[in-house]
A and B are shown apart, each in its own frame.
Chain A
């Protein structure tokens, strides 16, 4: 290019934003999963007839076999699990320090072959949570909305 801007005060810009709100449908399996969550303190999973894999969160098809899940393949599993790995997050989406660090864990849900991301509530931020058994703590039933936010956090299962 023959000419470029060399005066640092000269570059101009247009500041825009993207209005990007969606209504994400839960789908057939997701709807059932969350309707169950509003009534009970347990989770729903689906078991693949072909390979026996217990899919969690519940889905309508097996990602390994491409097998469709039928009515008899649904099962109720406890809202408990084991922490596979965890991390202590300290910054927000803008890269600024959050008031309190948050512990996010990937929790292998009992009696399933799936896992769920969860926040672990603890005062001991130095603790090694790997392998620790945890249980979900839910909102009171009357306040549940049928979203992931109905799980307030996970805490150590004693």
Chain B
């Protein structure tokens, strides 16, 4: 049980706002092939188990895992899908390797967000259908559930009808949460806007990022309110892309002669799905981080960790997550940001990849994109955005609106 787990290969596609030329299977193939080449393994012989991370509704068909094996080299091999962010796949790979039943595991997650024509409505499907979803607006369909309004009429098609135009976008929940965060911590909208400025700037030095931009706090502040206090530029726009990891036990990693980057800690946690009783302080991140710190033997996370990639799918989320994970004191993340602590050249570089604000929101690939940045940094291959001497890095991902779940992975250079 004392086996250590290493990342031996990473691969990714370019991240683009749309990918009309390639199918989702083909971007998976590209990312996986690159990670297998990076690790120096043949998937048909050397990889013992394959894990993909996806959500049926993102993909647009049922039972996603059945559509997996061919494009990742997993036909007639142990293969499974984790319904969630790619970072959960790392945790599952860690456990599989720890048991000793497998030595080498591939993990993949991707986003083909541009395939979705009704993204907002698909996200609305994640809200409780009885107590929450109806709030987003009228869905004038007959109620079949034995109610007095039982109707024999055929359901009215929704597309193009007036009620559809008034159905509120599901991101309203982030507006509620951001307001809670601002009030509780006395953080300002301008400070959240600074997160956007920083991350989009960082993205200039990340060749695969798709939403790099040189903008000012004023630009963010003057973008229109969509879910006050959230403005258009506070939101990470969707992006397509795929990321693949290969993990192995330490002995196999040494035999392959690759650089040793250890997955030294992992944690995950889920809050209640009920918005009625759930807190708004990202407790899922607090719990997941604590679990990961304990596993990695980290006692003073802020001091011991050199670099962080935290979920920033909305600007305030970066600050909220840093505080929730104990990487900033409550209410002080904005101050760290203003003092330059979170910059690439600061003492606690955060989202050097550009984060989701700079790279794009890659849906279930988010956690792997963040892990990819940490591993790249620990290997020392991050180019202009390289943080010198980074030894320990942390990646965190949240499952997005309206979830209260997330996971944390800690990587350490060997």
Is A146 an interface residue when CB atoms closer than 8 A count as contact?
Answer: yes
User: Chain A 28-45 against B: per-residue CB contact (8 Å), 1 yes, 0 no?
Assistant: 001000000000000000
Q: Is the CB of B276 within 8 A of A18?
A: no
Q: Is the CB of B172 within 8 A of A104?
A: yes
Tally of contact residues, B, Cβ under 8 A: 57
Q: Is the CB of A91 within 8 A of B276?
A: no
Q: Which of A46-94 contact B (CB under 8 A)?
A: 55-57, 63, 84-94
A4 to chain B: which residues have CB within 8 Å? Answer: 21-22
A98 to chain B: which residues have CB within 8 Å? Answer: 165-166, 168
**CA of A29 to CA of B386, assembled, Å:** 55
B20 to chain A: which residues have CB within 8 Å? Answer: 8, 11, 13
Closest to B228 in A: A88
Is A117 an interface residue when CB atoms closer than 8 A count as contact?
Answer: yes
Is B2 an interface residue when CB atoms closer than 8 A count as contact?
Answer: no
Q: Is the CB of B132 within 8 A of A117?
A: yes
User: Chain B 196-228 against A: per-residue CB contact (8 Å), 1 yes, 0 no?
Assistant: 000000000000000000000000000011111
**CA of A89 to CA of B137, assembled, Å:** 11
Is A124 an interface residue when CB atoms closer than 8 A count as contact?
Answer: no
A15 to chain B: which residues have CB within 8 Å? Answer: 117
A20 to chain B: which residues have CB within 8 Å? Answer: 125
Q: Is the CB of A115 within 8 A of B141?
A: no
Tally of contact residues, A, Cβ under 8 A: 54
**CA of A86 to CA of B131, assembled, Å:** 17
B167 to chain A: which residues have CB within 8 Å? Answer: 92-93
* Among B37-45, B142-150, B243-251, the stretch in contact with A: B142-150
User: Chain A 116-149 against B: per-residue CB contact (8 Å), 1 yes, 0 no?
Assistant: 1111000000000010000000000000011111
Q: Is the CB of B169 within 8 A of A89?
A: yes
Q: Is the CB of A89 within 8 A of B165?
A: no
Q: Is the CB of B147 within 8 A of A56?
A: no
* Among B173-181, B303-311, B342-350, B365-373, the stretch in contact with A: B173-181
Is B121 an interface residue when CB atoms closer than 8 A count as contact?
Answer: yes
Q: Is the CB of A87 within 8 A of B120?
A: no
Q: Is the CB of A95 within 8 A of B169?
A: yes
**CA of A156 to CA of B17, assembled, Å:** 43
Q: Which of B145, B183, B230, B274 contacts A87 (CB 8 A)?
A: B230
Q: Which of A55, A88, A148 contacts B227 (CB 8 A)?
A: A88
Known: A4-B21, A113-B277. A99 touches B134 (CB 8 A): no
**CA of A93 to CA of B401, assembled, Å:** 13
Q: Is the CB of A90 within 8 A of B118?
A: no
Q: Is the CB of A149 within 8 A of B134?
A: yes
Q: Is the CB of A147 within 8 A of B30?
A: no
Q: Is the CB of B120 within 8 A of A95?
A: yes
B29 to chain A: which residues have CB within 8 Å? Answer: 1
Q: Is the CB of A93 within 8 A of B275?
A: no
B26 to chain A: which residues have CB within 8 Å? Answer: 1
Q: Is the CB of A87 within 8 A of B179?
A: yes
User: Chain B 135-170 against A: per-residue CB contact (8 Å), 1 yes, 0 no?
Assistant: 111100101110111000001000000001111111
Q: Is the CB of B135 within 8 A of A55?
A: no
**CA of A67 to CA of B125, assembled, Å:** 29
Q: Which of A11, A21, A118 contacts B135 (CB 8 A)?
A: A118
Closest to B271 in A: A63
How far does the Cβ of B226 sit from chain A's closest Cβ, in whole Å? 5
Q: Is the CB of B136 within 8 A of A93?
A: yes
**CA of A16 to CA of B60, assembled, Å:** 9
**CA of A8 to CA of B19, assembled, Å:** 11
Is B124 an interface residue when CB atoms closer than 8 A count as contact?
Answer: yes
How far does the Cβ of A58 sit from chain B's closest Cβ, in whole Å? 11
Known: A90-B226, A94-B120. A85 touches B176 (CB 8 A): yes
Closest to B129 in A: A24
Q: Is the CB of A104 within 8 A of B30?
A: no
Known: A24-B130, A130-B183. A93 touches B121 (CB 8 A): yes
16 A-B pairs in the complex with CB atoms less than 8 angstroms apart: A1-B30, A4-B22, A6-B21, A25-B145, A55-B277, A85-B179, A88-B175, A90-B224, A92-B120, A92-B164, A92-B169, A105-B176, A114-B277, A115-B276, A146-B148, A147-B134
Given contacts A93-B136, A104-B176, could you give 13 more A-B pairs where the C-beta distance is less than 8 Å? A4-B21, A21-B141, A63-B272, A87-B172, A89-B168, A89-B172, A90-B227, A91-B169, A92-B165, A94-B165, A96-B165, A98-B166, A115-B276
- Closest 6 A/B residue pairs (Cβ): A87-B175, A93-B120, A5-B21, A114-B276, A88-B228, A11-B20
- Measured CB to CB, the residues of A under 8 A from B are 1, 4-6, 8, 11, 13, 15-16, 18, 20-26, 30, 55-57, 63, 84-96, 98-99, 102, 104-106, 113-119, 130, 145-149
